[in-house]
Structure 1
Amino acid sequence: MQTLLFEQDVQRIADDASGPITYRPGIIPSTLAATWFDALREQGDWHASSRVMYERLVGVPRLHCHYAVADPALPGVLREALARVAQHVDAPFNSIGLNFYRDEHDSVAPHNDKLHEMLPQQPVALLSLGATRTMQIRRKQPPHLKTELELEAGSLLLMGWNAQLHYDHGIPKLRYPVGPRISVAFRVRPTRNAW
Structure 2
Amino acid sequence: MAQFSLFAAGPQVLFDDPSGRVVYIPEVVPADTSRAWFAQLFEGIAWRGGRRMMYEREVDVPRLRAHFELADPDLPAPLHEALAAVRAVVDAPFTSVGLNLYRDEHDSVAPHNDKLEDLVRGHPIVLLSLGATREMVIRAKHPPRRVLHLDLVAGSLLSMDYASQFHYDHGIPKQRAPMGPRISLAFRVRPPS
Partner Cα distance (1:43, 1:108) in 2:
23
Indicate the residue corresponding to 1:115 in structure 2: 116
1:122 positional shift: 0.5
Alignment of 1:49-68 (within 5 A): 49-68=50-69
1:85-128 alpha-carbon deviations (Å, 9 max, x no partner): 10000000000000000000000000000000000000000000
TM (normalized to structure 2)? 0.94
Q: Is structure 2 residue 173 aligned with structure 1 residue 164?
A: no
1:69 maps to a residue whose letter is L
Superposition pairs for residues 151-190 of structure 1, below 5 Å? 151-190=152-191
RMSD: 0.8
Distance 1:81 1:151 in 2: 16
CA-CA distance at 1:191 after TM superposition: 1.6
Gaps of 5+ in 1: 1-7
Q: Distance in 1 between matches of 2:14 and 2:139?
A: 10
Partner of residue 100, structure 1:
101
Q: Which runs of 5+ in 2 are unaligned?
A: 1-8
Superposed displacement of residue 25, structure 1:
0.3
Q: Quote the residue 1:22 is aligned against.
A: 23
Q: For 1:90 and 1:45, how far apart are their aligned partners in 2? A: 29
**Cα offsets for 1:26-65 (capped at 9, x unmatched):** 0101111000000010111211000011221100000000
1:156 and 1:23 map into 2 onto residues whose CA distance is 6
Does the residue aligned with 1:120 lie in a helix, a strand or coil? coil
C-alpha separation between the residues in 2 aligned to 1:106 and 1:54?
Answer: 18
Q: What is the number of equivalent residue pairs in this alignment?
A: 185
User: For 1:104, what is the secondary structure of its paired residue?
Assistant: coil
Q: In structure 1, the residue corresponding to 2:17 is in which secondary structure?
A: coil
Deviates more, 1:122-131 or 1:43-52: 43-52
TM-score (norm 1): 0.93
Taking every aligned residue pair, what percent have the same amino acid on both sides?
Answer: 56
1:25-36 mapped onto 2 (5 Å cutoff) = 25-36=26-37
Runs of 4+ in 1 over 2 A off after TM superposition: none
Aligned residue in 1 for 2:140: 139
What letter is aligned with 2:149? E
CA positional deviation for 1:171: 0.2
- Tell me the distance in 2 between the aligned counterparts of 1:90 and 1:110: 27
Cα distance in 1 between the residues matched to 2:10 and 2:58: 43
How big is the shift at 1:84?
Answer: 0.8
Any residues of structure 2 matched to 1:36-55 within 5 Å, and which?
36-55=37-56
